[in-house]
Amino acid sequence: MKRRFIPGLVVVALAAMAIAPARGYMLFEGDGSDEPGFVAPIVGAPPPPPPARMSSGESYIPYPPPPVVPQARSEKKNPPNPPVMFTKIKSDKGLLDWASRPDDVNNLLKGMKSMMDVHLSCEAKSLAEIDTNAERNPILYRTGHFRITHSPEERARLRQYLLGGGMIIYDAGGGSKPFYDSAIAELKAIFPEAPVQRLGPDHAVFHSYYDLDRVEYLQGVRDAGYAEPLPWLDGITVNCRTIAVVSRWGMGIAWDGHAVDTTRAYAVDSARKLGVNLMAYATAQRAWARQLAQSLQFIDREPTAAGKVAVAQIVYDGEWKTRHKGLSVLLQQFNLKTGVPVKFGLTELRLSDPKLFDCPLLYMTGHEDFRLSPAEAQNLREYLRKGGFLFAEACCGRAAFDAALRRELRKVLPDQPLAPVAAGDMIFTLPNKVEAVGVTPALSQQGGRSRIEPRMEAIELNGHYAVLYSPFGLAGGWELSPNPYGRGYDESGSLALGMNILMYALTQ
């Protein structure tokens, strides 16, 4: 069939139709409609206008609503409009590009209202119209089937908004691959310093309200070659907060309620629960981002003393830098307690770098899976056998990093597995005696206790620890702001253990 352009005015007309296939049409040059994996939109009728009055009470998952306050006067009052939670991002290519299923978010919010008495609303704006203050448009939602491209100005605006506490969701309409691929490319352009990676099933976004480490898909997803029951969201995480996600399979068409079994989308129940989780996660993380912004700012400086403690953070393919100020805070606190001069200009290098052997202490962290190349594993093996010291932590206590680190260390030192560090070891006594530590709410909920014995694991070579590993997060505590969804130690426990590890590295 000959492909034809659909001008914007024609798109508006198509959107007024009840159901109409868009196959065979090209919306704009380079829209991806001729690429493998393109799924054409099915045009739906526009949503009805909202009622003149909408009853609501402001409520944010997972927090309870405020108590009802009696009116001071007895006359009838118009109830307030529901607060805006989702802002749908419009494009200049017409409704078919960004709103082929215009009632998707509205239906999601209706479901939330019936299931949990949460009253929220959505609006539609262009990227130029959004407020970079995330409190005014908490979650941005961009869906579509065709390729998307943001201008440099839009990318800069999005970056400011996201770093300020906001969140954006890109939803591949009907699982259309050109949209998915271009959304990934846009995130890489907006955050070139941060990797876009698939979120592991233990990520908080899959557990913030419902436990969704397993989901149901429609048959179309299996027909497209994906047979796993795992949710598929890619994301960018900055300072332990996932600020942008891309859904590989359609959510909105399931929210809309018109998906058929051949659609490349989540089943309706899974899609709605995932939408609730995304809102719950974004709400809690936005509140935490305000707290994080108010935490102490530590500035790197060059020491004047001759003696220095230099720490090199390992760079690898993946999310190797989870917190940006944690090490600087730890080093400063160590300097204040012990008087040992500290070098604040931290080194960042790959394991393949020859400078590795000039660093007495390596630090490694992350959230998700990673793999070392054979050359990196060989270099690390040689470094450790020559007396080097590696300290690693699973930031936020994430299972994917934990499994990856154990796997990679088995390749590096196959005959020396990680083993628990015994209570009373100098790691727990010098310079701080640490018998019990406070834990984050997420870790407390898992074990039922607000304080636990600290847990460290180690690999010993030639009579000293070559590797020390914490399976629970420390860096958030070093920054005085552990993530509420993270499984880790509190501020005082994290700093005490971190200082002890630095002292061990200096004295062994």
CATH number at residue 110: 3.40.50.12140
Q: Which of 17-21, 314-318, 344-348 has the lowest mean pLDDT?
A: 17-21
Q: Is the pLDDT of residue 11 over 70?
A: no
Looking at the domain assignment, is residue 441 inside a domain? yes
Q: Are residues 449 and 492 in the same domain?
A: yes
In a domain, 53, yes or no: no
Of 120 and 364, the structure prediction assigns the larger pLDDT to: 364
How many distinct structural domains can be found in the chain?
2
Which two tokens mark 482?
């552990």
pLDDT above 50 (res 238): yes
Question: Domain boundary residue among 292, 326, 361?
Answer: 292
Identify the CA nearest to 252 among candidates 242, 244, 263, 262: 263
If asked whether residues 361 and 452 sit together in one domain, one would say yes
Of 263, 292, 321, the one marking the end of a domain is 292
Q: d(Cα 469, Cα 437) in Å, to the nearest integer?
A: 16
Q: Same domain, yes or no, for 347 and 212?
A: no
pLDDT of residue 344: 53
- 302 located within any domain: no
pLDDT grade for 266, boundaries at 50, 70 and 90: very high
> pLDDT of 129-173, one tens digit each?
999 999 999 999 999 999 999 999 999 999 999 999 999 999 999
pLDDT of residue 42: 79
CA separation for the pair 59, 224 (Å, rounded): 39
Q: Is 298 inside a domain boundary?
A: no
Confidence of residue 74 (pLDDT cuts 50, 70, 90): very low
Same structural domain, 34 and 114: yes
Q: Which uninterrupted H or E stretch holds 311?
A: strand 311-315
Q: Does the pLDDT value for residue 53 go beyond 70?
A: no
Q: How far apart are CA 259 and CA 218, in angstroms?
A: 9
Q: How high is the pLDDT of residue 486?
A: 95
If residue 139 lies in a helix (H) or strand (E), which one and from where to where? strand 139-144
DSSP run (H or E) holding 167: strand 167-172
409 Cβ neighbours under 8 A, 6+ residues apart: 417, 418, 459, 467
Q: How far are the Cα atoms of 71, 227, 284, 312 from residue 75, in angstroms, in the given order?
A: 9, 59, 36, 68
pLDDT band for position 470 (50/70/90)? Answer: very high
Specify whether 254 is located in the same domain as 358.
no
Same domain, 190 and 330: no
Select from 265, 292, 319 the last residue of a domain: 292
**Among 43-52, 116-125, 250-259, 331-340, which is the least confidently predicted range?**
43-52
In whole numbers, what is the pLDDT of the chain averaged over residues?
A: 85
Band of pLDDT at residue 447, cut at 50, 70 and 90: confident
pLDDT of residue 114: 76
User: Higher confidence at residue 354 or residue 54?
Assistant: 354
What 3-state class would DSSP assign to 411? helix
CA distance 139 to 165: 10
Assess whether 127 and 36 both reside in one domain: yes
Contact (CB, 8 A) for 427 and 500: yes
Q: Which two tokens stand for residue 355?
A: 């400078």
| Average pLDDT value for residue range 334-359 | 84
**Are 252 and 322 in a shared domain?**
no
Dihedral (C-alpha) 269, 274, 276, 280: value to the nearest 10 degrees? 160
Q: Alpha-carbon distance 96 to 335, whole Å?
A: 60
Does 55 map to a domain?
no
* pLDDT for position 25: 65
159 CB-contact burial (10 Å; exposed 0-12 / middle 13-18 / buried 19+): middle
Give the pLDDT of residue 230.
96
Give the DSSP letter string of 342-391. ---S-EEEETT-GGGGG-SEEEEEESS-----HHHHHHHHHHHHTT-EEE
Examine residue 59 and state whether it is found in any structural domain, yes or no: no
**For residue 385, what are the CA distances in angstroms to 311, 335, 412, 469, 503?**
18, 29, 10, 17, 20
**Region 12-37: what's the mean pLDDT?**
65
499 in Cβ contact with 431 (< 8 Å) = yes
Q: What percent of the chain has pLDDT over 70?
A: 83
Residues 484, 367, single domain; the answer is: yes
- Residue 418: domain span: 311-507
What is the predicted pLDDT for the residue at 459? 98
pLDDT at 290 (0 to 100)? 78
Q: What's the pLDDT at 332? A: 85
Does the residue 300 lie in any domain? no
The answer as to whether 56 is a domain residue is: no
Number of C-beta neighbours around residue 284 at 10 A? 21
